[in-house]
Amino acid sequence: MKKIFATLATLMATTGLAQAQEVLNLFNWGNYTNPELLSKFEAETGIKVTVTDYDSNDAALAKIEAGGHGFDLVVPTHQYVQIYASKGLIQKLDLSKLPNHSNIAQEWMNVEWDPGRAYTVPWQWGTTGIAVNTSVYDGDINTSDIFLKVPDELKGKINVVPEMNDIVNLAVMWAGGTSCSEDTEVLKKARDALVAAKPDWISMDYGATEKLSNNDWAASVNWNGSTMRARIANPSVKYGYPKEGYPIWMDSVALLSDAQHVENAYKFLNFIAEPENAALISAFARYANGIAGSEAFMPEDMQTAPEVVVPEEFKAAGSFIPTCSAKAQEYMTAIWTELQK
């Protein structure tokens, strides 16, 4: 009898392990993962993906550093990849398990933040700019004055997304500096402008797509794909590229060092590097991706969308924010902390 019970216990434990392995836990930005993509992945692999949302890189990093999170994959913005790697929070990829790794577009392969894509697979890339309901405000929207010197028509109606690197660096570029600046005069000008403007903001929130669509907000510092989705629902919403300078970014998927479902994670990473599947990611969130050949499967309206195709006159103003020095990060954090008061 004891032997029977022992056999049953072993069988139950084995069955439980098998069931546990048929899941995957993805930690990603909110409203950024196509449900159709997840359904297709589950249908092809039998693996159910659970998505937990976050609203800023710093919030995600803090959660991962705290441990005990249970996530397998995370989607940091480019300048955070080396931070994750240096802290030992993500692991190098076994490329033998990723035959679709070669589908990564050449311009996104040997990137400064992840040479040879040793740690990450592209998710999406885009810009950070200004979304404005032009039925409320019909002035120049291609300037960070919109949120730093808020026009009367937008006072109490403009949101600012809670992403420190984007917001502080937009203010620094507006003040005449470059991203990750250590110039204390420029930083002071940026800080003073942010603190002075904050009373004119309605909120510092993540959910701009719906609130711009529904006219809850008349403007927001926002990302281009989110703004495109809002514009499709509300044609009065337009996207501005701050002429003083704006961030270009790429979010990529990384395998966490303490992932519990590693093989399932590799299946997902390989899956999203298929051109047709990468196009599904873009079709939902409306950002470009970094997978060659995905263009053939992309929605037609993204080929000419003003939020996706940067106007020639504003191309030179965009730049990638590097991984900031410890001192620059300290300055930014101090400004951000003051802004939260």
Tokens of 247: 């961030």
Quick one: pLDDT at residue 316?
A: 97
Residue range 76-126, pLDDT digits in tens: 999 999 999 999 999 999 999 999 999 999 999 999 999 999 999 999 999
**Could you report the per-residue pLDDT of 178-218, keeping only the tens digit for each?**
999 999 999 999 999 999 999 999 999 999 999 999 999 99
pTM over 0.75: yes
Q: In this structure, are 294 and 213 located in the same domain?
A: no
User: Do 111 and 133 reside in the same domain of the chain?
Assistant: no
Range of the domain at 333: 127-248+310-340
Q: Which amino acid is at 12?
A: M
Under a CB-based contact definition with an 8 Å cutoff, are residues 249 and 228 in contact? no
Q: 135, 340, 147: which is closest to 246 by C-alpha?
A: 147
C-alpha torsion sign, points 297, 299, 304, 307: negative
pLDDT band with cut points at 50, 70 and 90 for residue 301: very high
Domain identity same for 134 and 261: no
Buried b (16+ CB within 10 A) or exposed e, 89-104: bbbebeeeebebbebb
Q: Convert the pLDDT of each residue in 38-70 to its tens digit.
A: 999 999 999 999 999 999 999 999 999 999 999
CATH number of the domain bearing residue 315: 3.40.190.10
The structural domain count of the chain equals: 2
